[in-house]
Amino acid sequence: MALISVRNLYKVFGPNPKRVFPLLEQGKSKPEILKRTGCTVAINGASFDIEKRETFVVMGLSGSGKSTMIRCLNRLIEPTRGEIILDGQDIMKMDKEKLRETRRYKMSMVFQHFGLLPHRSVINNVEFGLEIGGMDKDERQKKAMKAIELVGLKGFEYSKPAQLSGGMQQRVGLARALANDPEILLMDEAFSALDPLIRTQMQDELLELQAKMHKTIIFITHDLDEALKLGDRIVILGPEGRVRQIGTPEEILSSPADDYVKEFVQNVDRTKVITTSSIMKSHATVSYPADGPATATRIMEKNRLNAIFVTDSDRKLMGLVTIDDAAKAAKKGQKDLTPIIQDNIYTTYPDTAISDLLGTAVTTTYPIAVIDENNVFHGVVDRGAILAEVTIGIDDEAAPTRLSELNGQEEDAETRENA
Ligand SMILES: Nc1ncnc2c1ncn2[C@@H]1O[C@H](COP(=O)(O)OP(=O)(O)OP(=O)(O)O)[C@@H](O)[C@H]1O
């Protein structure tokens, strides 16, 4: 079951927002509705599920409703209509006390501009929420220290925010959100105010932290690269506050739902996002010690292969034999594959980005074997599939031309001139 389930969520800002719904049903646009009613449709019928422990990115251009969306999830902004179910409980129906408890213990927020109290030290900032919640001093300081260590700020606990760089201030913001160990982190453009280098570093650190913490993270950004890097799944909001697509980075890049998303993603370097698993193919193997050179030769001939991978009885990859070696060994009557197994072959993992395979792809003669962390063989990626991914979307106007075509064109020109 999803941790958070959002159904038909609407937020309309302005006087008497309910009168906007008939206009929405008639398909009136956001600017038209604003003109006619003075109301702004910020979220227009959004539905999605957020799974436990995933990083769910809400992505869209300025004004598409991202901040409104994340604030509706904890009702910092009161939705106009819809349902938000958190762990089986309807947030829309919670009374003030229950809502306060949910905000305090279940979800914490990290803001773009850090939101730190300037006169308080790092540790006092981090423990602030716990203090408000009435936790005693020893316990809250212990929790705050743990969070400070987690974000790599040990040694700075008694500094004031103004003494820290932007990246460090945002670490304090993150530590403050983590201090009460909430299940859900709401991060609103949390890295957008940082210099590009620091921003990249914080993204990497968040990925590392998340690998240890396994929180459910809802991360808002207007930056597609950031969304693709951090998101397990991404929801793309259109300018009219509608959900345009929900999917993994690979799904969004490979099959954009409409022209809006297509335009969004067209300049992204796909090879950095698409991973080996999406272009992996199955490949014939022989099993050691059951199969010998004669079987290997037969399978290669049947499948028109010049080499075949060898696995042990647990499908662990041992190496590869070529058809020449296998045929020679079979002719000599050898039964054992061992002397002809080559183990100087290339391997990769299912989650490796295709861009990391390019160098190998142009040098190796054989497909690259895809294995998991236990060395179990899953399939192969070949040069053709890698190049196909790299060349998608490349404008081929200046591509090489066949010599015969060039000659043909000259002949045509001559014929025209003579005519
Ligand atoms: N308090 C408000 N009153 C009226 N309109 C609002 C209010 N807050 C947001 N809006 C409008 O709602 C729409 C969505 O705004 P929102 O801030 O959620 O978008 P966003 O995607 O987060 O944009 P940005 O990245 O610029 O913050 C916009 O058209 C905005 O002008």
- What is the reported pLDDT for 419? 54
> Helix 137-150 and helix 166-178: axis angle, to 10°?
130
Residue 330 pLDDT exceeds 70: yes
In this predicted model, which residue has the larger pLDDT, 162 or 268?
A: 162
pLDDT band at 315 (very low <50, low <70, confident <90, very high): very high
- 198-216 pLDDT per residue, tens: 889 889 989 998 998 899 9
Judge contact between 361 and 388, C-beta under 8 A.
no
- 286-296 pLDDT per residue, tens: 999 999 999 99
Residue whose tokens read 């422990």: 53
Judge contact between 238 and 225, C-beta under 8 A.
no
Which CATH number applies to 51-268? 3.40.50.300
Residue 62: CB within 6 Å of ligand 1?
Answer: yes
Q: Which long-range contacts (CB under 8 A, 24 or more apart) does 126-132 make?
A: 126/172, 126/175, 126/176, 126/179, 127/179, 128/176, 129/104, 129/176, 129/179, 129/180, 130/179, 130/180, 132/104
Residue 372 pLDDT exceeds 80: yes
Residue 77 Cα to ligand 1 middle (Å):
11
Residue 264 pLDDT exceeds 90: no
Judge contact between 300 and 326, C-beta under 8 A.
yes
- What is the reported pLDDT for 294? 96
Provide the ipTM: 0.97
pLDDT band at 266 (very low <50, low <70, confident <90, very high): confident
Residue 242 Cα to ligand 1 middle (Å):
13
Q: Does domain 277-391 have CATH number 3.40.190.10?
A: no
Q: Indicate the length of the chain as a whole number.
A: 419
Residue 414 pLDDT exceeds 80: no
Q: What is the mean pLDDT of residues 279-288?
A: 92
Residue 42: CB within 6 Å of ligand 1?
Answer: yes
Phi-psi region of 239 (alpha: psi -120 to 50; beta: other; left: phi over 0): alpha
Atom of ligand 1 nearest to the CA of 69: 18
Residue 302 pLDDT exceeds 90: yes
Atom of ligand 1 nearest to the CA of 60: 21
Atom of ligand 1 nearest to the CA of 14: 4
- 128-162 pLDDT per residue, tens: 988 988 899 999 999 999 999 988 899 999 999 99
Residue 63 Cα to ligand 1 middle (Å):
5
Structural domain boundaries of the chain?
51-268, 277-391
Atom of ligand 1 nearest to the CA of 30: 29
Residue 370 Cα to ligand 1 middle (Å):
46
Residue 309 pLDDT exceeds 90: yes
- For residue 299, what are the CA distances in angstroms to 286, 304, 308, 317? 8, 8, 8, 17
Residue 176 Cα to ligand 1 middle (Å):
26
Residue 1 pLDDT exceeds 90: no
> Helix 323-331 and helix 293-303: axis angle, to 10°?
140
Q: How far apart are CA 17 and CA 44, in angstroms?
A: 12
- What is the reported pLDDT for 75? 94
Q: What is the mean pLDDT of residues 19-32?
A: 93
Q: What is the mean pLDDT of residues 31-54?
A: 95
Q: What is the mean pLDDT of residues 251-280?
A: 87
- What is the reported pLDDT for 132? 85
Average pLDDT across the chain, whole number: 90
- What is the reported pLDDT for 396? 63
**Who contacts 84 (Cβ-Cβ below 8 Å, separation ≥6)?**
4, 5, 6, 7, 9, 72, 73, 90, 91, 92
Please tell me the residue having the least CA distance from ligand 1 atom 28. 63
Residue 113 pLDDT exceeds 90: no
